């Protein structure tokens, strides 16, 4: 036996179930990056659109299987599809505890909960954009039961699509997105509803601050409600924190909010060993993984973090 | 005496005090529209920038005098300037009751409170844009003491800049902008401050809904605080309305907010006589004035309004 170089492990194929905005964009991004990608959608038009972007259409799912379907149908999205017994399964749902319960219960340590922090108020395969994930954060959950090599395999998929990977536990993820995504939807709804109740003159005088502050509630109400109900506990806790902030003296509140909104801490590059605790510490520090190497990952944390 | 046509009343000159974003843009828009415009600013650089756009620089103010200075200096902005005894005085401040007290006290029925609903988080003469008012609503206050011919003169200035004029009482204006402008600033501050308190992971996962929901609090905190303190009563009442909305069941709240945000009632053209009550009724119906004619104004109300 001569000293042949150790072969790099080949990137596993990726199979995307649900070829709407998120799934279609991911499949297209991976196909464009030269990865082997297959996909499935119950809608023939979505399948045709993905096929035109180089996605092989089929019901056999192996390698990294990405469920990119709305939360209410996550539990049945694999019905009639053939999942390889050693497949790694991930998803892109906005809330992780209920999905961890369903898919973690079914796939055990082979399930890795994921949540790319992107997407727009548009939806469906017509909103597909291979650049959607570029520079976006993609939360990937590391639970005690999660098999680390599978977590890394899913992380490589997110990195290949151009995202930065944020490690977090399911509970940490759900609390964080309650504060930065679910409560903003509640505040937008309350702001719009209160302005509507204030009457036509108020709506006639609505300008930039009202438009910005209510933009997210233009999204599909069924989707917003499903996400809120799937994360009711953390969302209620985060809303309570906002209520507490609103009770502060206004000059103090305005200064505090302005400081957070305009902070730019900068980034410090870091290397993190392939270790559960170290990866979770990176996420808790507000950092992200940008590259996988053989024995560690590269990434960054906020300056001073 | 032969039957000469009745001469159209010549448009009065306009004098703008404060040539920052709002004042500089207004003076530039009027100069571009062929109106006679003069202006003054304590900052020589702002005076030079306005002069380069066709604004005559001087301390003598006559015709329609527009005070376009920050709220805290409104009371002293005319110090050292020479205001003609029959001048009509208006302003562009974000809250009207305290300004009505100061300028209404000084100029009586010659003062007409105004508030163009535009401007960006930028400020100063470098942010001047003659198109800033195009299509924007411009609230103009009609109090019992306001002289209607002067109100119409100020309305013509706003229309000449490309805005649509919304008649309202001072109290109506302040309640309306509390709901659609001042409370959005409080919510944005509370959202940002609560996310900051939630920690670095939450900020790392912040995406579109957080950015949109906190955008307005990137503005100068001193300006935001001054506006909030100038409208404390109505802002507290409007915030209470938002708190009440947040106590509703979430599916109901989301549906209500979505309905207001996505409503598009359309416009029905109307003619309104030059009458205080009729003009205020137009504003209360959510409508606006778009054109002044000899015996009436033209405008629109929301369809069904």
How does DSSP assign B10-28, residue by residue? PPPPEEEE--SHHHHHHHH
pLDDT of residue A129 exceeding 60:
yes
pLDDT of residue B304 exceeding 80:
no
Average pLDDT, chain B: 94
pLDDT of residue A40 exceeding 80:
yes
Mean pLDDT to the nearest integer, B164-193 = 98
As assigned by CATH, the class of the A173-247 domain is mainly alpha
Give the residue on B whose Cα is nearest the Cα of A224: B254
Which of B117, B221, B285 is facing A207, going by the closest CB pair? Answer: B117
Mean pLDDT to the nearest integer, A291-300 = 94
In three-state secondary structure terms, A158 is helix
pLDDT of residue B46 exceeding 80:
yes
pLDDT of residue B7 exceeding 80:
no
Mean pLDDT to the nearest integer, B19-34 = 95
Residue B126: the pLDDT is: 87
Mean pLDDT to the nearest integer, A16-44 = 96
- The residue that leads in pLDDT, B182 or B70, is B182
pLDDT of residue A234 exceeding 50:
yes
Cβ of B261 and A228 within 8 Å? Answer: no
In three-state secondary structure terms, B125 is helix
pLDDT of residue A283 exceeding 80:
yes
Give the residue on B whose Cα is nearest the Cα of A289: B204
pLDDT of residue B222 exceeding 50:
yes
Where are the domain boundaries for CATH 3.40.50.720 in chain A? 14-168
pLDDT of residue A284 exceeding 60:
yes
Interface test with B, best of A22, A95, A113, A250 (most B CBs within 10 A): A250
Closest-CA distance of chain A to residue B116, Å: 9
Interface test with B, best of A172, A173, A184 (most B CBs within 10 A): A184
pLDDT of residue A49 exceeding 70:
yes
Residue B3: the pLDDT is: 45
Where are the domain boundaries for CATH 1.10.3660.10 in chain A? 173-247
Residue B41: the pLDDT is: 97
What is the pLDDT confidence band of residue B269, given thresholds at 50, 70 and 90? Answer: very high
Q: Are A80 and A57 in contact (CB under 8 A)?
A: no
Q: How far apart are CA B288 and CA B165, in angstroms?
A: 5
pLDDT of residue B8 exceeding 60:
no
**Any idea which residue has 């993190």 for tokens?**
A272
pLDDT of residue A6 exceeding 60:
no
Cβ of A204 and B137 within 8 Å? Answer: yes
pLDDT of residue B115 exceeding 90:
yes
Which of A181, A194, A205 is facing B209, going by the closest CB pair? Answer: A181
Residue A9: the pLDDT is: 65
pLDDT of residue A7 exceeding 50:
no
pLDDT of residue A3 exceeding 50:
no
Residue A121: the pLDDT is: 61
**Any idea which residue has 């590391």 for tokens?**
A142
Residue A305: the pLDDT is: 47
CA distances from B224 to B71, B78, B92 (A): 11, 23, 15
Angle between helices A232-246 and B183-198 (to 10 degrees): 120
Residue A304: the pLDDT is: 64
Residue A123: the pLDDT is: 76
Mean pLDDT to the nearest integer, A146-172 = 97
Mean pLDDT to the nearest integer, A245-255 = 98
pLDDT of residue A257 exceeding 60:
yes
Pairing of strands B267-273, A267-273: unpaired
Q: Are A53 and A27 in contact (CB under 8 A)?
A: yes
What is the pLDDT confidence band of residue B6, given thresholds at 50, 70 and 90? Answer: very low
Residue B121: the pLDDT is: 61
Contacts with B48 (C-beta within 8 Å, 6 or more apart), sequence order? none
pLDDT of residue B38 exceeding 50:
yes
pLDDT of residue A8 exceeding 60:
no
Average pLDDT, chain A: 94
Residue A206: the pLDDT is: 95
- The architecture that CATH gives domain A14-168 is 3-Layer(aba) Sandwich (3.40)
Residue A267: the pLDDT is: 96
pLDDT of residue A120 exceeding 80:
no
Q: How far apart are CA B1 and CA B15, in angstroms?
A: 36
> Considering only CB atoms, which chain B residues are within 8 Å of A117?
205-207
Mean pLDDT to the nearest integer, A11-37 = 95
What is the pLDDT confidence band of residue B305, given thresholds at 50, 70 and 90? Answer: very low
Number of C-beta neighbours around residue A243 at 10 A: 13
């Amino acid at each position: 036996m001569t000293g042949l170089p150790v072969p790099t492990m080949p990137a596993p194929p990726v199979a995307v179930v649900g070829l709407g905005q998120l799934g279609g964009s991911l499949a297209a991004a991976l196909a464009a990056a030269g990865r082997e990608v297959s996909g499935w959608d119950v809608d023939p038009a979505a399948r045709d659109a993905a096929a035109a972007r180089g996605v092989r259409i089929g019901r056999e799912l192996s390698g990294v299987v990405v469920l990119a379907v709305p939360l209410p149908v996550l539990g049945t999205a694999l019905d009639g599809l053939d999942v390889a017994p050693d497949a790694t399964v991930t998803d892109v749902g906005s809330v992780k505890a209920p999905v961890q319960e369903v898919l973690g219960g079914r796939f055990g340590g082979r399930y890795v909960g994921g949540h790319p922090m992107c997407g727009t108020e548009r939806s469906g395969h017509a909103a597909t954009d291979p650049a959607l994930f570029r520079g976006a954060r993609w939360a990937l959950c590391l639970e005690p039961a999660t098999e680390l090599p599978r977590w890394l395999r899913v992380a490589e998929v997110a990195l290949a699509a151009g995202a930065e990977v944020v490690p977090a536990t399911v509970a940490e993820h759900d609390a964080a997105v309650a504060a930065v995504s679910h409560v903003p939807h509640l505040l937008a709804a309350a702001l719009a509803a209160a302005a509507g109740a204030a009457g036509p003159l108020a709506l006639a005088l609505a300008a930039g601050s009202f438009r910005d502050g209510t933009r997210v509630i233009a999204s599909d109400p069924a989707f917003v409600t499903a996400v809120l109900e799937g994360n009711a506990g953390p969302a209620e806790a985060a809303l309570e924190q906002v209520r507490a902030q609103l009770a502060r003296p206004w000059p103090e509140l305005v200064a505090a909010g302005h400081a957070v909104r305009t902070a730019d801490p900068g980034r410090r590059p870091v290397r993190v060993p392939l270790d559960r605790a170290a990866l979770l510490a990176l996420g808790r520090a507000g950092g992200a993984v940008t590259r996988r190497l053989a024995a560690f990952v590269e990434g960054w944390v906020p300056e001073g973090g």
